[in-house]
Structure 1
Amino acid sequence: MMKLLLLALALGCAAAVPVEENGALLQEVCQPHSRPWQVYLWNTKGGWYGEERCSGALINEWWVLTAWNCFVEPGHTMVSLGEHDLTVEEGTEQHIRVARYVQHGPYARGPSHSLAMVKLAEPARFTQHIMPVALPTRCTQLHEKCLVSGWGSTVPGQDEPNLILKCETQRVIDDKMCQIAFPLYWIEHAFCAKTIISTDNCLSDQGSTVVCGGELQGLFWSSSSDVGLYTRLCLYLDWISDIMNTPDPTPEPAWTTPAAATTW
């Protein structure tokens, strides 16, 4: 009964009943563990449901992609893999600390480089519930159907996370429509997608993943009504490769007080 109550509270907007659209099932709650690359980032100082939380995508055993403005603090931020229901420990999870955090710059005022990479302190162990997602081999196509997933708020004006991973089907829209929706922010390094069913774009946590044709094509940056703005990952493949191939910086030696000189 308690779990059903938590599920009811988590469903914040749109109908709770799945909708059929041209044979495609449009769900609110993702099929459990159907997005094995989805990760939940949270700061141990703020707690499991604290303000410093966001989503991301596992791209190999060491690296996660997330949004530029996802607050990550190496040593304190944890990456939780194999999650679905945040209220229970299902035995599918792995919790790994962040060892390195690299933001793409400059960010300036817009989402042109709204992208960051997180390196895990130890490699993820792949299971049927934890697997990487493929990076794009092409850019998105107009009207292409994509699936957005994340734990973001589904209640307009609120910042509380969902307790269960949500999925939403969207279609890629024309860049001109994207510019109209985001006149101050859109540039060629971003793209927009619109919900198929008539409801607000609910999945509004930073780093929510956009997968089209089995490839990770975008990460959530902002939304306006039923249109989402996403980083166009196909334009960042060289940068991603460069970061992964760059050796970790050598930590500076700890400063110690020299021993007092001995006189005889």
Structure 2
Amino acid sequence: MNLLLVVVALGLAGASPLQDYKVCRPHSKPWQVYLHGGGVSCSAALIDNWWVVTSADCAPRSSSTIASLGEHDVTVSEGTEQHIQVSQVIHHSPYRSARSPLHSLVMIRLAQPARLTRYVQPIPLPTTCPQPGETCSVSGWGSTVPNQYEPHQQMKCITVPIVDDQTCENTFPEYLYWSPGMVCAGQSNTDNCMNNGGSVMVCDGQLQGVQWFRHGCQNPADPSVYTKLCRYNRWINDVMERYGPLRPTTTLPPRTTE
């Protein structure tokens, strides 16, 4: 009888070939941030107890956006979460210009500092740039199956190889131009889709990218594109110094800086 139950269970599992099994080990990515509310539903990375980074398309558009830290399953309360209102949004500019590279990067200042715990920890900025063939981890919420929608629930993790720039650029549609601020990861026969804006790419324990274009979710043979964080260390540190810690109760309007 027990054997029959096992066979039936395996048969039912086989009936759902698109089921997504890439769930992360809970709280294994303590730097991961879930941005939600105010028209935003994205991932981001905690780099300091006051600061979060994400891609330009994930920039909060109102003060009602919340940064949730210590999350795994965003549909339930696990007792590990910290929900902090967004205070200030600073875009790297120009984001899109005929004469300038694209810069898909936004820094978000929290209305109060994150309380660092085993579930909430910042990720170090990169000290070197990722190299083709290097293996990295990407985490976010949403489907990891190409061309399949899945609502945000448990955090997903995939493993991706860094792809050389020319190989990646060759897959671009005509309307998209290569930028030195891009780095690509994922290819045929590897994990390649994380259907969640701003998904976080970590290589060798350092933050190397936030997702920019989810090409691998439309065509599994195409690399997905990430903002190349190693090119932005100076700008990130300048922003944190310029807009340094203020009183936790201060709420500031969004601003743009270069």
Q: Please indicate, yes or no, whether the TM-score normalized by the shorter chain is above 0.5.
A: yes
After TM superposition, give the deviation of residue 152 of structure 1 in Å: 3.1
After TM superposition, give the deviation of residue 246 of structure 1 in Å: 1.1
Identity %: 48
1:57 aligns with 2:45: yes
- Tell me which residue corresponds to 1:77: 65
| CA–CA separation in structure 2 for the residues paired with 1:55 and 1:111 | 23
1:29 aligns with 2:23: yes
Q: 1:212 aligns with which of 175, 179, 203?
A: 203
- Tell me which residue corresponds to 2:83: 95
1:40 aligns with 2:27: no
1:128 aligns with 2:124: no
After TM superposition, give the deviation of residue 156 of structure 1 in Å: 4.5
1:241 aligns with 2:246: no
Structure 2 length-normalised TM: 0.79
- Tell me which residue corresponds to 1:118: 108
* Partner secondary structure for residue 75 of structure 1: coil
The alpha-carbon distance between structure 1 residues 34 and 195, as it changes in their structure 2 partners (threshold 3 A), is farther
Q: Which amino acid aligns with 1:203?
A: M
| CA–CA separation in structure 1 for the residues paired with 2:189 and 2:27 | 23
Is the 2:111–2:251 contact (alpha carbons within 8 Å) kept by the matching residues of 1?
no
- Tell me which residue corresponds to 1:190: 182
- Tell me which residue corresponds to 2:93: 105
After TM superposition, give the deviation of residue 141 of structure 1 in Å: 1.1
Flag structure 1 segments of 5+ consecutive residues without an equivalent. 1-7, 17-27, 46-50, 253-264
Is the 2:160–2:190 contact (alpha carbons within 8 Å) kept by the matching residues of 1?
no
| CA–CA separation in structure 2 for the residues paired with 1:251 and 1:212 | 34
The alpha-carbon distance between structure 1 residues 52 and 214, as it changes in their structure 2 partners (threshold 3 A), is same
Is the 1:148–1:208 contact (alpha carbons within 8 Å) kept by the matching residues of 2?
yes
Q: Which amino acid aligns with 2:198?
A: G
* Partner secondary structure for residue 214 of structure 2: strand
| CA–CA separation in structure 2 for the residues paired with 1:111 and 1:34 | 34
| CA–CA separation in structure 1 for the residues paired with 2:153 and 2:236 | 30
After TM superposition, give the deviation of residue 245 of structure 1 in Å: 1.0
After TM superposition, give the deviation of residue 196 of structure 1 in Å: 7.2
| CA–CA separation in structure 2 for the residues paired with 1:207 and 1:213 | 19
Say which is worse superposed, 62-71 or 183-192, in terms of deviation.
183-192
Structure 1 length-normalised TM: 0.77
CA-atom RMSD, angstroms?
2.6
Larger radius of gyration: 1
Say which is worse superposed, 149-158 or 229-238, in terms of deviation.
149-158
Is the 1:170–1:196 contact (alpha carbons within 8 Å) kept by the matching residues of 2?
no
1:137 aligns with 2:127: yes
Flag structure 2 segments of 5+ consecutive residues without an equivalent. 1-12, 253-258
After TM superposition, give the deviation of residue 137 of structure 1 in Å: 0.2
| CA–CA separation in structure 2 for the residues paired with 1:143 and 1:185 | 23
The alpha-carbon distance between structure 1 residues 202 and 68, as it changes in their structure 2 partners (threshold 3 A), is same
Report which of the two has the higher share of helix. 2
Q: For residues 120-168 of structure 1, what are the alpha-carbon distances to aligned partners after superposition, in whole Å with 9 as ceiling and x for unaligned? A: 0000000000000000000001100000000134454565533110000
Report how many aligned residue pairs link the two structures.
225
| CA–CA separation in structure 2 for the residues paired with 1:120 and 1:161 | 26
Structure 1 outlier segments of 4+, above 4 Å: 11-15, 155-160, 195-199, 248-252
